[in-house]
Amino acid sequence: MTNRRFSIRLAALAVFAIAQLFPVVLNPADAQQLTDKAKKVGGKFMCMCGCSQVLTECNHVGCTTSAGMLKDLNQRLDRGESEDSITQAFVQEFGTQVYAEPPKSGFSLVAWLMPSFYLLLGTVLVIFVISKWRKRVPVEALADGAASGISPELLARARAQAAKETED
Amino acid sequence: MDVFGSFALVLAFVCAVYAIVGGIAAIVTRHPLLVKSARHAGMATCCLIFTATFSLEYLFFTDNFSAAYVVSHSNRDLATFYKIAALWSGQEGSLLFWSFLLSIYVFSVLIAYRNKNGELMPYVGVVMAGVQTFFLVLNNFVASPFKMLAIANANGSLTYFTREDGQGLTPLLQYPEMVIHPPNLYSGYTGFTIPFAFALGALLARYPGEKWIHLTRKWTMIAWTFQTLGIMLGAHWAYAVLGWGGYWGWDPVENASLLPWLTGTAFLHSVMMQEKRGMMKVWNVWLVFCTFGLCILGTMLTRSGVVSSVHAFAQSSIGSYFVGFLAITFLVCFAAFLKNRDYLKSENQLDSVVSRESSFLFNNLILLVSCVAVLSGTLFPVFSEWFTGDRISVGAPFFNKVNIPIGLILLFLTGVGPLLAWRKTSTDSLKRNFGWPLLVSLVMGAVLFAFGVREFYSLICFILCIFVTSTIGMEFLRGSKVLHARTGSSFITCAIDLTMRNTRRYGGYIVHMGMVFVFIGLAGVAFNRDIQKEMQIGQSMQIGPYTLVLQSYDTKAEKNYTAQRLIVEVLRDNKPMMMLYPEKRKFATAEQPGTMVAIYSTLKEDLYVVYAGDSGDTQLPVVHAYLNPLVKWIWLGGVVVVFGTLVALLPNRRAVLVLAGSTEAATHPAQAGLPSTVTLREGHD
């Protein structure tokens, strides 16, 4: 198989793979039903049946808890209650376990800050390690250089050549 | 047989303790007979655990309803297939199964290295026996699977009795994937004991060089493959059985399986730094320690009831044993590290920030951040209860918000990392390696945007997937072109040849490609849609291009359950396509019904139809239909990841250099008359 034919086949394969994505995205407006307020608000609560699922996603057969909660939610929305007052009412009825995600206030803020803190701390650590490694003189280089009497210039040139040769 | 199994477990415990004591004595005295004796005790422990496990299975197969565990997890009508799975369906049996799988690994290691690495193996044997002993304590004294049914008499004596039938297996577990998912996941959890034992053993023994890394590489990859398979099968089971239209709900038990997978993945990458450059020795040792610790933590979370989960076993006091074991493990590891930390000094320097070394550091950073974020989110309800008295739950929206950006950074590094050179990457090399992939991905991103992909994370994900695919494709193309120029073989043959010459490198690329497929599937979530409707016979509902018509419904009686089945005809553009049969199953021995989702799956989308029950008011069947785009790519990605790992496990084929204008092949430069400076580049990249 020639180089060109192989490239054409690869390109065709890529086009086929990408084509699989198009039907998904041709109708994005149709794909979403996020305008439904009940769905949006309900997505902020957990189903309290113990299934560990978000209220609007819990549909396991025979779950009366989610049905009751969704009914209550719809009634409150029909009465024109705000998101905040619905949240308060649900927390009062079911406790803080009803939150699908921790509120961004008080102690719960810690949950939101922790990942960013880890990332920041990790990045600082990696930068520290990189700078430390860059300053370090390699053990084997010291030993080899000293033993063989190779000059630092020659060693640097050899290393540069090796780096060039081993580069992908 | 129950007494036999119980006795085997007690004997196994005695042998395991002897393997520790004898092993330590062998290390101190270096007496060859003691070394041999401790090793044999380790092997005997494994054989006795095998015996106990087969005894429990025998009780299931013979419907022995005098054993409490069999009564709780089986019944006479249960299919033979599921009687195997009943072994690990409860707390006691699953802990025995843990010991069983661990014993397979331990036995294999003891046999494989019986005449090798004499300095290291006694240490490894002691560590492995230590882990086995902990689980045997649980098997014997805390959660014995061999308890018999008995009534206490007034005089204090016991009268043993047998039940007519058992309570059956939980309906959710009566699904073929449930027979293979737990063994895979547990094989992953238990498998990480081997690299842990070698890492700790090498540290304690101050075993020279990177030998322990070479020795454990295949064991780590085997454990990682099982863990990947276990996670994938679990996700597929959740998708096909739970009926909520998704496959990953960030449940604490699901998260518990992901944690060691993340650190294990980090280890598989950073280990190359130690092999190639003698760097990150401390990091690698601690990564292995953490991976093992997270396996134990995951096992604890599933069993202790510390966090609530649908997948967890009943709440019990077993958690305190795990906490104790984790504390002892950490102390031993920390003490060994403090005592021998000079043994772990890195040897090399970093020549450039733009290098493979740096990319591995960032790859490890991102994987670790993801791991710690998932862990802290999983345990946050416990922390919040300690500090505030209120248990604040952390559900899927939190984990998605935190992990989607992290996942995308990781995907970006998947494309970038392998194309950076070791030591230093020049600007020319950067342009050469990244120019085309960057251009292709940006152009395709613009095309996707023009065609309506406006969901930010999905668009970024698709762009990155195209970028990574391009970089991997270019790597194969570049290597194949060189081989093609040398040999004249077809490009496909050259690509296979290239892979077989450096299985680790190109197997790794295949694994990365599998991960790209998984990310494509995950990106599709943004375009999910669903509809739910009460339906009379002959009524239809529309979802996307599909029209679903309820043709009829019936009831079928099977040996162990009765199924109510809907017969749904699927039409596309008003043309009949197929029939789907979503079911609701009622098991004779359980009140909880089960679902069987009907799925029509293509690479483009899944039509996912659930019989959600009958309406309370009208008694009409309720059909919940989902259109989930690109889900199949996730399962396909899983298969590709496993295939890539298997390729990476294969030994490299020896390179054959064919000289231009010559028909002779040489296996060594010297043979080919080449100058000694010319070497064939074969190695672990």
Among B614, B685, B680, B593, smallest CA distance to B648 is for: B685
Place of tokens 């989110």: B377
Per the CB < 8 A criterion, the answer to whether A119 and B369 are in contact is: yes
Q: Which residue bears the tokens 């996912």? A: B608
Query: Alpha-carbon distance B344 to B280, whole Å?
Result: 8
Output the pLDDT for position B273. Answer: 83
**Mean of the pLDDT values across residues B249-270?**
93
Please write the tens of the pLDDT for every residue from A60-112: 656 778 878 888 888 888 888 888 899 999 999 988 889 888 988 888 899 99
SS3 B88: helix
Q: Which of A24, A107, A159 sits opposite B387 (nearest CB)?
A: A107
Whether ipTM tops 0.85, in short, is no
Q: How far is A138 from chain B (nearest CA, A)?
A: 4
| All domains in chain A, ordered by first residue | 1-32 (no CATH), 35-101 (1.10.8), 107-166 (no CATH)
In this structure, the strands spanning B657-658 and B561-572 are unpaired
Exposed/middle/buried for A6, CB within 10 Å: 0-12, 13-18, 19+?
buried
Q: What is the C-alpha to C-alpha distance for residues B87 and B75, in angstroms, rounded to an integer?
A: 13
Beta-carbon contacts of A159 under 8 Å, excluding residues fewer than 6 positions away, are A141, B351
Instruction: Kindly indicate the confidence band of residue B49, based on its pLDDT and cuts at 50, 70 and 90.
Output: very high
Tell me the C-alpha distance between B330 and B386, whole Å. Answer: 23
- The answer, for B652 touching chain A at a CB cutoff of 8 Å, is no
Token digits of residue B166: 């058992």
Give residue B225's identity as a one-letter amino acid code. Answer: T
Q: Does B448 touch chain A (CB under 8 A)?
A: yes
- Strand-strand pairing, B594-596 and B598-601: unpaired
Please give the pLDDT value at position A9: 61
**Structure tokens, B241:** 């059985």
Of B349, B397, B604, the CB nearest to A133: B349
What's the pLDDT score for residue A4?
Answer: 60
* Secondary structure letter of residue B553 according to DSSP: E
Beta bridge pairs of residue A77: none
Residue B280 CB: number of other CB atoms within 10 A? 24
Res B138: pLDDT: 95
For the stretch B103-160, pLDDT in tens is: 999 999 999 998 888 889 999 999 999 999 999 999 999 999 999 888 888 887 878 8
What pLDDT sits at residue B390?
Answer: 85
pLDDT digits (tens, 9 = 90+) for B5-30: 999 999 999 999 999 999 999 999 98
Worst-scoring range by mean pLDDT, A71-75, B412-416, B569-573?
Answer: A71-75
Quote the pLDDT of residue A126. 86
Interface check B373 vs A, CB under 8 A: yes
Length of chain B: 685
DSSP codes, B159-187: EE---SS-----GGG-SHHHHHHHHHHHH
B384 in A contact zone (CB under 8 Å): yes
Q: What is the pLDDT of residues B291-348, one digit of tens each?
A: 999 999 999 988 877 777 666 666 677 889 999 999 999 999 999 999 988 888 776 6
Rounded to whole angstroms, the Cα distance separating B72 from B91 reads 11
Please give the single-letter amino acid code of residue B129.
A
Which residues in chain A are closer than 8 Å to B249, comparing Cβ atoms?
A: 52-53, 57
Compute the distance between CA of residue B679 and CA of residue B658 in angstroms, rounded to an integer. Answer: 13
Going from the C-alpha of B96 to that of each of B46, B442, B485, the distances in angstroms are: 12, 53, 57
Q: What is the pLDDT of residues B647-660, one digit of tens each?
A: 999 988 765 444 44
pLDDT at residue B650 in the model: 92
Contact A163 B377 (CB under 8 A): no
CB B537 within 8 A of CB B544: no
Query: Which residues in chain B touch residue A44, judged by CB atoms under 8 angstroms apart?
Result: 397
Letter for the amino acid at B7?
A: F
Residue A152, classified by CB atoms within 10 Å of its CB into exposed (0-12), middle (13-18) or buried (19+), is exposed
- Angle formed by the axes of helices B281-304 and B252-277, nearest 10°: 170
Q: What is the DSSP secondary-structure string of B620-646? A: PEEEEEEEEETHHHHHHHHHHHHHHHH
Does residue B636 belong to the interface with chain A, where contact is any CB pair within 8 Å? no
Q: How far apart are CA B258 and CA B371, in angstroms?
A: 8
State whether A168 and B421 contact (CB < 8 Å). yes
* Separation CA B425–CA B421 (nearest Å): 5
**pLDDT averaged over every residue in chain B:** 88
Give the C-alpha separation, A60 to B486, whole Å: 60
Reduced to 3 states, what is the DSSP secondary structure of residue B271?
A: helix
Whether residues B244 and A18 touch (CB distance < 8 A) is answered with no
Residues composing chain A: 168
Number of CB pairs, chain A paired with chain B, less than 8 A apart:
236
- pLDDT reported for residue B508: 93
Token duo for residue B595: 């679902």
Q: How far is B398 from chain A (nearest CA, A)?
A: 5
Give A126-133 contacts, CB < 8 A, sequence gap 24+. A126/B361, A126/B362, A126/B365, A129/B361, A130/B350, A130/B353, A130/B358, A130/B361, A133/B279, A133/B346, A133/B348, A133/B349, A133/B350, A133/B357
